[in-house]
Chain A
Amino acid sequence: MDLDVLGQRTRLYTGGRAFDRRLPAVVLVHGAGHDHSVWNHQARHLAHHGFGVLAPDLPGHGASAGQPLASIEALADWLAAVLDAVGVERATLAGHSMGSLIALEAAARHPARAAALALIGSAAPMPVAPVLQEAAETDRPKAHGMINQWSYTPASHLGASPAPGLWLPGANARLMGHQHAGVLATDLAACNAYQHGQQAAAEIRCPTLLIYGERDQMTPARAARPLREAFTAVPGGTRVVTLPATGHALMAEAPDGVTDALRGFLAAR
């Protein structure tokens, strides 16, 4: 569905079922240069198992109007505005990669809005290689190639997609190519600039799930550890799920693994 958020048309994918705000709400936030469609399987599953799902296209991404926002903090406030627009007080905030930083910051800035937090392929800080940032600004196909190279495991570079007949590297490159010029560069700069992640994590008191890809090169386990260890105030500690043989493109490479981890986390609550 399309909704007005802060005066701009915003695409909210609801997983194939009309959004019902009486159900426990789950917001799924995509990463840099992507749109809501990275969540197809998880959104459809949760929407058909008792949750109200909102997978927005961030401003300037996909079918949402406007310009991409330049900071994680601004995107976190925008996410709260999405909840206002649909009339939802609290939701589980889940995000992938850049989207995980947005969910984290939103939960820290607006703790009353976060029923729970799920971060997928996350690290903070999330430095972006200068060569990738430069390519995103000057040579988008080259940047898309680098992201493909680093997002998938070596096995996934040759395909064998869980979804029959899809060529994942092609689909990911085309999804990034579908975004307007400047979107990816703005997103990557926002990730690189965000320095509040560990402090935000220390403020989180809601149940928190961290999902990692065992072979993730973009946010490898070593880089992810400081963030993981920063969640010191979560009652009972964070729940951590590591998906075997999976890179940074977790929802594409291990759709069932991500779905089951999210569903298990939500059900345990």
Chain B
Amino acid sequence: MTTTPYGRETLALHAGQSPDPTHGSRAAPIHFTTSYVFPDADRAAELFNLERPGHVYSRISNPTNAVLEERVAALEDGVGAVACASGQAALHLAIATLMGAGGHIVASRSLYGGSHNLLGYTLPRFGIATTFVDPRDPDAWRAAVRPETRLFFGESLGNPGLDVLDIPSVSAIAHEHRVPLLVDATLVSPCLQRPLELGADLVMHSATKFLGGHGVAVGGVVVDGGRFDWEASGLFPTLTEPYDGFHGMDFAEESPVTAFLLRTRREGLRDFGACLSPMNAFQLLQGLETLPLRMRAHVDNARAVVAHLDGHAVVERVSYPGLESHPDHDLAARLLPFGCGSILSFELKGGRPAGRAFIEALKLFSHLANVGDAKSLVIHPASTTHFRMSAADLAASGIGEGTVRLSVGLESAGDLIADLDRGLHAVAKLLKE
């Protein structure tokens, strides 16, 4: 990365923050304030009118949040970022900035369930339609484009099969149609992949996961790569025509490389209000400081776990892009050279009863619906998140009755393997009965 002379470990610790000039505080202070005193009436008007940079009200910007935004933007090599209340808020904010009723999205069908709900069920109620496509099929992306398409969307690593999104190819198709590609990079973090360098235009994270890493704070962030030419596209009047709701601003004329962020903050945060608490921003910053170290350790532990599970007597198959058996193994080697993260799934012999027996035998892995915590997590979709679904419906979603998903944490690898062995022994016992 030539943008800055600093490496990612340095940026993770320092980007976006100077020591507090008033008190010399080394850590980023928590600016727990809703609002900011204007020195005089003139200055107030100038701040509102963007004649001067600064903070007006914490729904729109906050100094602690700004450190987080700048740090994530630096790590992703973007031009800036907007922090939000959650990853879902970040996704909604990006979409709502780019389109209104009548808009259309082409999205990978391998998405986090929450994103699938937003695109498939909720946004249609507001007139925004989505066509879901097989992310591995370039023709499907191309065929799904309509005149009203305004966005391509996929995940770096898809859910639940950990499909690797071919960002260079999908972004090229998006650009053929003059629309941007937004990538949800939650499962990889900027330490394993920088989607903007691969051709994506926008990146979002559920910062709740690896960016924070501690599992104590919900938050989200959307990063703008600044490369998409909104004026040349001609498809985005929200960015290229005067907006009566904010000083008649034509955002792309105002700033060609930060137009998206301008509208996201000045309209999206202002009106939808899904802002991040500065306390959460502070907690997420504490996590970010160790992100490069943690991601290396996550990947090392995941590889150890995969090696143990792959070929085990009660395991049908393991799905992890780092394995040669994974259909995207070659693509992963190209796009995820530092590792494929620490989320993996595997299929137990014995179906739903085996899944239940496995989960109940574990002592170290926490049974819950989250990923990306420093602590190892496990879930058996067929008995929890997807328990109402038939075997056929599960199969259509790429989930087997014995599928178990792991989020491998930072514990000692030997302890994790010993814990998994408890579950595997329970399954073996069940299969014998």
Contact = CB atoms under 8 A, between A and B. Distances in A.
Q: How large is the interface on A (under 10, 10 to 19, 20 to 34, 35 or more residues)?
A: 35 or more
Interface stretch (B92-100, B128-136, B224-232): B224-232
B163 interface: no
Interface in A157-185: 157-167, 169-171, 173-175, 177-178
B80 interface: yes
B4 interface: yes
Nearest to B60: A164
Nearest to B248: A16
B18 A158 contact: yes
A110 interface: no
Interface in B269-308: none
B202 interface: no
Nearest to B242: A16
A142 B5 CA distance: 11
Contact of B4 (A45, A157, A165, A175): A157
Contact of A157 (B5, B53, B80): B5
B258 interface: yes
A127 interface: no
Contacts of A142: 2
Interface string A245-260: 0000000000110010
Contacts of A169: 3-4, 74
Interface in A37-95: 37, 40-41, 44-45, 48, 62-63
Contact of A177 (B50, B82, B227): B227
A6 interface: no
A173 B77 CA distance: 10
Contacts, number: 153
Contacts of B258: 37, 166, 171
B73 A170 contact: yes
Contact of A148 (B4, B10, B67, B70): B4
Given A48-B51, A163-B53, A166-B80, A171 B257 contact: yes
Contacts of A149: 5
Interface in B53-105: 53-55, 61-63, 65-67, 69-71, 73-74, 77-83
Contacts of B326: none
A259 B52 contact: yes
B387 to A, nearest CB: 41
B254 interface: yes
A48 B52 CA distance: 12
Given A16-B247, A41-B51, A165-B81, A159 B70 contact: yes
A33 to B, nearest CB: 12
B226 A171 contact: yes
Contacts of B77: 170
A212 interface: no
B35 to A, nearest CB: 14
Contact of A171 (B71, B80, B229): B80
B317 to A, nearest CB: 41
Interface string B254-270: 11111001000100000
B249 A16 contact: yes
B49 to A, nearest CB: 6
Interface in B7-43: 10-11, 14-18
B49 A16 contact: yes
Nearest to B231: A63
A164 B81 CA distance: 9
Nearest to A45: B51
Given A41-B50, A145-B2, A259-B52, A164 B79 contact: no
B3 A173 contact: yes
A158 B53 contact: no
A162 B53 CA distance: 6
Contacts of A178: 226-227, 229, 256-257
B52 A255 contact: yes
Interface in A5-43: 11, 13, 16, 35, 37, 40-41
Shortest 3 CB-CB contacts between residues of A and residues of B? A145-B2, A174-B226, A164-B61
Interface of A: 11, 13, 16, 35, 37, 40-41, 44-45, 48, 62-63, 141-142, 144-145, 148-149, 155, 157-167, 169-171, 173-175, 177-178, 255-256, 259
18 contacts: A16-B49, A16-B50, A37-B258, A41-B52, A41-B53, A155-B18, A158-B14, A159-B74, A161-B16, A161-B80, A163-B53, A164-B55, A167-B16, A167-B81, A170-B73, A170-B226, A255-B52, A256-B52
Interface of B: 2-6, 10-11, 14-18, 46, 49-55, 61-63, 65-67, 69-71, 73-74, 77-83, 225-227, 229, 231, 247-249, 253-258, 261, 265
